[in-house]
Amino acid sequence: MARDGVEVAVLGPVEVRGAASPFRRAASLDLVVYLALHRRSVSHAEWALALWPERTVSASTLYSTASDLRRALGSGSDGVPHLNRGGALRLRATVRTDVELLGRLARSADPEEAIRALALVRGPVLTGLRRADWAVFDGTKAGLQSEVVRAAAGVADVLLRHGRPDDAECAVRRALVVSPYDERLYRALLRATAAQGSRVRLHATMAELRAMAAECDSTASPGHGMSSGTRAVPSPSSADPLHPSTTGLYRDLLLRPAAVGSRPARL
């Protein structure tokens, strides 16, 4: 991030870092998050509907909210405000998100960069917003969760290649806080625990996954159970709620020679 930039952190409790001053209006935080995750010009009608879906707000409310956000964010070193003025709002590139940093770090082959990537995940995404229904309805929240899952899988692979399975497990478990029902993360977790050289840990991880899948199978509404992360899904008549690729991976890991011990986790 640029030295004079602002960071909108959404991978956990929402924080705005580097702003010139505090927000005076509660809706300003919601607005900066909405704009940070919709990197285009957003009309007043669009963001008003996202922030106040149940009622129509006055033009003065919209104006004061945008003005408060512009004042709080301040300007870059060039004197240009981080938020434009006009009929549609758009943040400058000087306002970035922790999601962008996550993606960049997760693509690195450096294990230290990989650890930094998942350290950005501080909890469930978008926590603390006054109103975040829009993030569910337009797919933003699901997209953020998928980004964390992809990053965690890549980070775990990097750490395993560098002989750090304990750190790989910690990275995956951090991502599970964001997306606890994604089976792709459990497959990564199986690989990490198998690489630690303990059959007991491997069995325990599979038991943990089966318990989670059984819970989802019994309580979730259609379309809200475990996410396999693949196109194929188990047959509805199958007694096993897990994806075949997961059970196949587990059997394969059990057949492999036990790995040598691992380094202590540091994440």
The answer to whether residue 48 is domain-embedded is yes
Confidence of residue 266 (pLDDT cuts 50, 70, 90): very low
Tokens of 117: 């990537």
- Mean confidence (pLDDT) of the chain: 88
Instruction: Judge if pTM exceeds 0.75.
Output: yes
Cβ neighbour number for residue 81 with a 10 Å cutoff: 17
The answer to whether residue 182 is domain-embedded is no
Residues 3-31: tens digit of each pLDDT = 569 999 999 999 999 999 999 999 999 99
Q: What is the pLDDT of residue 27?
A: 95
Q: What is the pLDDT of residue 257?
A: 74
The answer to whether residue 107 is domain-embedded is no
Nearest by Cα to 126 from 17, 39, 12: 12
The answer to whether residue 102 is domain-embedded is no
d(CA 64, CA 86): 13
Backbone angles phi, psi at 115, to 5 degrees: -65, -40
Tokens of 131: 């109103």
d(CA 174, CA 118): 7
The distance between the two most distant Cα atoms of the chain, rounded to a whole number of Å, is 69
- Give how many domains the chain has, as a whole number: 1
The answer to whether residue 233 is domain-embedded is no
Which of 57-66, 195-204, 231-240 bottoms out in mean pLDDT, i.e. has the lowest?
231-240
Angle among Cα 26, 89, 87 to the nearest 5 degrees reads 115
| Surface-to-core class of residue 15, CB atoms within 10 Å of its CB (0-12 exposed, 13-18 middle, 19+ buried) | middle
Nearby residues of 253 by Cβ (< 8 Å), 6 or more positions away: 190, 191, 194, 202
Angle among Cα 169, 175, 176 to the nearest 5 degrees reads 85
Answer for the pair 95, 8: CB distance below 8 angstroms, yes or no. Answer: yes
Answer for the pair 95, 24: CB distance below 8 angstroms, yes or no. Answer: no
Q: What is the pLDDT of residue 216?
A: 78
The answer to whether residue 89 is domain-embedded is yes
Residues 115-170: tens digit of each pLDDT = 999 999 999 999 999 889 999 999 999 999 999 999 999 999 999 999 999 999 99
Task: State which amino acid sits at residue 216.
Answer: C
d(CA 253, CA 89): 52
Q: Residue 46 belongs to a domain with what CATH number?
A: 1.10.10.10
Beta strand extents in the chain (DSSP E only): 6-9, 15-17, 42-43, 88-89, 95-97
Nearest by Cα to 132 from 123, 121, 142: 142
The answer to whether residue 143 is domain-embedded is no
Is the pLDDT at 220 greater than 70, yes or no?
Answer: no
The answer to whether residue 260 is domain-embedded is no
Confidence of residue 51 (pLDDT cuts 50, 70, 90): very high
The residue range of the domain holding 29 is: 6-96
Q: What is the pLDDT of residue 231?
A: 34
Angle among Cα 96, 149, 240 to the nearest 5 degrees reads 160
